[in-house]
Structure 1
Amino acid sequence: MALVQLGRRRRRVGHTRETVSLLDFHMTAWALPCGDTVRTIRTRASLEPEETIMTTTEHHAAKTEGPAAGVDFDAAPPPSRFQLRTPLLEAGSLSTLLAETPNFQLKIRCYAPHEGENALHSHHNQDHSFVVLQGTARFRGPRGETWDLHRNEGIMLYDGTWYCFENSGDEPLVVLRIASFMPHRGDPNKRLGANGRQIDPHTKDNLRPDKIVIREGAFYE
């Protein structure tokens, strides 16, 4: 998001009767496209090496003067809310759809310890990514490459990238799966195995476990 610097000013505050204090005062204001203003204030005492930083945000209603005044906002779709929540598992894997459009998909998934999508495969007509929310994941490539991901780390998998992965830890793995579909290029559900044929993610060909065991009363949220 681009920010526009509005202004900057300095002033010095000098003596008081009891003490001598030299302060530098610095304020930078930034305008956001939505009409909010963020002001960052820094003060530094000359006798102390530490710098104190305070950030404040002022909220203003979005302005609709000019061309935007003629926009029919009621014709636009409203936003949809979702929650990052999933049961934790003792066995198997679970996928929960959070949001979806013809070109985009967002899921939260949980994998029991030492389980995952273990058959080498590639998705076509979509780019997608995994972000680890809890636990550890080990991704593998077709040449024996490995990538270990921990909490708040992710991996980008492009259209046609070969990979498989598993929960490499002893606790449930929770990941966010984000996909960008390309239906104009073909079926986004095209998922090929190493033999070059379509592989269903929910079959034994994908080395998925047969059963799901939910850890009672345990959730990621």
Structure 2
Amino acid sequence: MADEVKLYGVGGSPFVCRVKIALNLKGIKYEFVEEDLSNKSADLIKYNPVHKKVPVLVHNGTPISESLVIVEYIDDAWKGVPILPQDAYEKAQARFWAKVVDDKSLPALFKAIGSHGQEQAVAEAHEQLQFLENELEGKKFFGGDNINLVDISATFIAYWVGAAEEALGIKLVTKDKFPKIIEWSANYVNCQVVKDGLPPRENLVAFFKRRFGKA
């Protein structure tokens, strides 16, 4: 019997896109259920009563929440292309860097975007991005030659940041400062499995203009 896989989310969420990319990597067919976050469905509240947030993956009726938890679940539940390394140390490192992205890099970038590129906020974001730049030394992806958990966790950096820069006329990630991140971003978003999980860029540019554009 085929697995029943549903993903509850919103198209423009980088966290939802992480899950789409992981599903694409494994070649898993799924039904996407678009949520209206201003009027959440009873299903979403039932499946994720703690956070009431997307994404939620429902696999044969069983819900899993939180994007990186879901990505690891997908890796465990389905064979095919591995998302986490097999080696215990490398697996721990991948989890560490994915957490750095979530706890350090993304909050700093959100702050820099929300401040319209205010100097102090950009300096803080650059400080965090430098760790990722160093981590990419000698590698095509954070996972080496292949995409892994860290690449998926950093999807926002690869795709959303450029749309925010365009919408707001600011520069956050420049080629002279972060050549490896720029190169990694291009390699990553040009992978078919990634491309198929991303929303249209113009939608994101419009979103950032609406959300952060100067009145």
TM bucket by the smaller chain?
A: under 0.3
Greater share of residues in strand = 1
Greater share of residues in helix = 2
TM-score where L is the length of structure 1: 0.22
TM-score where L is the length of structure 2: 0.23
